[in-house]
Amino acid sequence: MTRRGDIGDNQRMAGTLRWQILFRTPLVTISDFRCRRGRCDHGRDEQSGSDDIVFPRRGVFIKHAGGRAVVADTNQVVFFNRHEPYRIEHPVDGGDDCTVFSFAPSVLDDAWRDSGSRESQGGDRRFNAGTMESDAGTFRAHASLFRATCRGAAAAAAVDEAALALLNRITEFTVARRSPQLRRRLRPDTHRAHRELVHAARAELARRFKTPIGLVELARVTHSSPFHLARIFRRETGTSIHRYVTSLRLRAAALRLADDGGDLTAIAIELGFSSHSHFTESFRRAMGVTPSMWRDAPDRTLVRQMSKNPTV
């Protein structure tokens, strides 16, 4: 792992190093970093250009910063503060592969504030810890995001929200590890404010579910921040905003198909699905049958088929 410098280009290569941006929105940039350097005991002095959360996927390196050293392997999440001086040591040959999450400063501030921490809200250091353990759930969440962004298969809104959920997991874990007393108990007026925020978000989604609405736009309309909205919505409803919108679209499709049939591709496009296949797979997973079966099968056959394929 080494300093990324300017990432204005989508992909940068310099000898044994490669840095490629996989996904970028105003909320988060997700990058693939690969180093093929040999073993070295003393790396050069470097500084990070942003506040980065790094998931090693292969290899191992040692980060030296502020008089302490942390070992980074696939069981760890490593933190780099903007403008923080550090050196990287590679104890074995082969370098490393890493996924790098660079969140907007305002998103990081919201994450720390919502987690209940008073230690890192703005200023020069947003990460007080050098590393944290990457438990199985955190690793799976990161790996799923990496795979989806490599393939370009996920909608930007879904990736944004999943990345914010991952950030929330990380901040809550680090806060709980440092001091359980930092966790706040919500007051009744806070609960009420959270419910009202979710009600406002639901109303806006119900009005606009056929057209794409990003997390940034939804937060603006509901007078919230993207991180806070995504976190509270999931906690209050038990699902993500993206899944909630998908459910609205699928139920509208089911009613349309049951009422007057229609062309599946046209319905898919009208309701905001990227393709016929995307619509079909989403419908099957939610309803237990394909859209064409839902449209064409007699009611008795449809009920019997759905009993064999419960909704997911």
- Say if residue 156's pLDDT is above 80: yes
- Say if residue 309's pLDDT is above 50: no
Average pLDDT along the chain: 82
Each residue's pLDDT tens digit, 195-244? 899 999 999 998 888 888 899 999 999 999 999 999 999 988 989 999 99
The sheet with strand 96-103 has its strands ordered as 11-14, 17-24, 28-35, 96-103, 52-59, 76-80, 131-133
What integer is the mean pLDDT of 268-274?
86
What integer is the mean pLDDT of 47-61?
91
Task: Provide the pLDDT for residue 182.
Answer: 41
Question: Which CATH architecture does the domain made up of 244-308 adopt?
Answer: Orthogonal Bundle (1.10)
Strand partners, 63: 70, 88
Q: How far apart are CA 213 and CA 215, in angstroms?
A: 7
The answer to whether residues 234 and 197 touch, using CB atoms and an 8 Å cutoff, is no
- Say if residue 75's pLDDT is above 70: yes
The alpha carbon torsion through 187, 221, 157, 33 (nearest 10 deg) reads: -80
The domain ranges of the chain are 14-123+132-177, 185-238, 244-308
- Say if residue 9's pLDDT is above 50: no
The answer to whether residues 229 and 218 touch, using CB atoms and an 8 Å cutoff, is yes
Q: Where are the beta strands (DSSP E) in the chain?
A: 11-14, 17-24, 28-35, 46-47, 52-59, 61-65, 68-72, 76-80, 85-89, 96-103, 131-133
Which candidate, 89, 64, 80, 117, places its Cα nearest to that of 5? Answer: 80
Each residue's pLDDT tens digit, 84-133? 899 998 888 888 999 999 999 999 999 888 766 544 444 567 888 788 88
Each residue's pLDDT tens digit, 24-43? 999 999 999 999 877 776 66
What integer is the mean pLDDT of 272-289?
86
| pLDDT band, residue 16 (cuts 50/70/90) | confident
Percentage of residues of the chain with pLDDT beyond 70? 82
Query: Of 54-63, 196-205, 293-302, which range is least confident?
Result: 293-302
Q: Are strands 85-89 and 96-103 parallel, antiparallel or unpaired?
A: unpaired
CATH topology (fold) of 14-123+132-177: Jelly Rolls (2.60.120)
